[in-house]
């Protein structure tokens, strides 16, 4: 039986690089070098560069994403950015990136609330999960990722009541990035087979929440961790994976041109098979 036709997505996380003065030029150059209509492209610059990137990307078919949102809707949280403040600036948001879990102490409970804030404000969340090296070495990678997902879901589901179809709305908007922590910014990548196995664990976990299997199967799962134009093929060759969240290489025009061109081959093959 054919599964759902999931989109191929390449998202770039610029992390703490660029400023309003140079971000627009970079975003435009990246967009022009990666113009592949079959691939969904998302660029996530720092907050202060969102407006410049939005303006530079007008008419270029690349979505703008934020790298984070706060878990509360508003309040006395100096220096933070609420999801609602991103209206008009971004349409996607990364949630639960491992660098924020590590540096800002973000918990699964907060991450679940962030998912809710994203839905409330119309943002499409890219939820990041991934095990650390100790868990991978101890054979605990899968339970570690399951725990992150279950923790976020428990908090999302317990959040302010928003209607009986909360889960359905999340299912229709959610993208998950499997990013093993030991592979981020290290030059090491997971194997395509290991990443695909984790994608299956992730979708089985969503189905375990009572989501219809078809909804769980329709959630795109990206791989992230030292993806370059030289390593993307291993992931795009896996039918269970739907693209990549790219960090370091997302700032390099040539690299992104190669990554998106490779991803487009998979996107076209899926379209032809559908």
Residues within the interface to ligand PEP (CB under 6 A): 13, 15, 179, 184-185, 224-227, 245-249
Measure the CA–CA gap between 13 and 246, rounded to whole angstroms.
6
Tokens of 140: 């605990």
Question: Which C-beta is closer to ligand PEP: that of 188 or that of 213?
Answer: 188
What are the CA-CA distances from residue 250 to residues 11, 27, 33, 39, 136 (Å)? 8, 10, 12, 15, 26
Question: Which C-beta is closer to ligand PEP: that of 65 or that of 112?
Answer: 65
Measure the CA–CA gap between 259 and 272, rounded to whole angstroms.
20
Minimum Å gap between C-beta 247 and ligand PEP is: 2
Largest interatomic CA distance in the chain: 52
Minimum Å gap between C-beta 94 and ligand PEP is: 8
In sequence order, which ranges of 141-231 are alpha helices (DSSP H)? 141-158, 166-173, 192-208, 213-218
> Which of the residues are catalytic?
97, 179
Q: Is residue 80 exposed (0-12), middle (13-18) or buried (19+ Cβ within 10 Å)?
A: middle
Question: Which C-beta is closer to ligand PEP: that of 15 or that of 270?
Answer: 15
Contacting residues for 75 by C-beta, under 8 A, at least 6 apart: none
In angstroms and rounded to an integer, the radius of gyration of the C-alpha atoms of the chain is: 17
Minimum Å gap between C-beta 193 and ligand PEP is: 19
Report the sign of the C-alpha dihedral through residues 185, 128, 102, 121, in that order.
positive
Tokens of 63: 């979505």
In sequence order, which ranges of the chain are alpha helices (DSSP H)? 20-33, 50-57, 98-103, 108-120, 133-137, 141-158, 166-173, 192-208, 213-218, 232-236, 253-273
Minimum Å gap between C-beta 154 and ligand PEP is: 24
Question: Which C-beta is closer to ligand PEP: that of 142 or that of 255?
Answer: 255
Minimum Å gap between C-beta 206 and ligand PEP is: 21
The residue of the chain with the least Cβ separation from ligand PEP equals 247
Question: Which C-beta is closer to ligand PEP: that of 234 or that of 246?
Answer: 246
């Amino acid at each position: 039986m054919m599964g759902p036709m999931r989109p191929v997505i390449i998202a770039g996380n610029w992390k703490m690089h660029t400023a309003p003065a140079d971000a627009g030029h970079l975003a435009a150059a990246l967009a022009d070098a990666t113009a592949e209509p079959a691939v969904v492209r998302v660029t996530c610059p720092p907050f202060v560069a969102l407006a410049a990137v939005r303006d530079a990307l007008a008419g270029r078919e690349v979505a703008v994403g934020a790298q984070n949102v706060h878990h509360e809707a508003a309040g006395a949280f100096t220096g933070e950015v609420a999801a609602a403040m991103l209206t008009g600036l971004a349409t996607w948001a990364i949630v639960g990136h491992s660098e924020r879990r590590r540096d800002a102490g973000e918990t699964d409970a907060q991450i679940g609330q962030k998912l809710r804030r994203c839905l409330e404000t119309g943002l499409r969340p890219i939820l990041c999960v991934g095990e650390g090296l100790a868990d991978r070495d101890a054979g605990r990678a899968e339970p570690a990722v399951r725990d992150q997902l279950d923790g976020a879901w428990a908090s999302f589901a317990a959040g302010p009541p928003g209607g009986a179809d909360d889960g359905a709305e999340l299912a229709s908007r959610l993208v998950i990035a499997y990013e093993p922590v030991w592979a981020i910014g290290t030059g090491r990548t997971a194997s395509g087979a290991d990443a695909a196995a984790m994608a299956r664990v992730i979708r089985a976990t969503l189905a375990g929440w009572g989501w219809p299997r078809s909804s769980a199967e329709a959630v795109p799962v990206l791989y992230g961790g030292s993806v370059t134009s030289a390593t993307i093929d291993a992931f795009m060759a896996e039918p269970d994976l739907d693209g990549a969240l790219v960090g370091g290489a997302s700032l390099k025009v040539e690299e992104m041109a190669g990554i998106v061109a490779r991803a487009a081959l998979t996107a076209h093959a899926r379209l032809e098979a559908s």
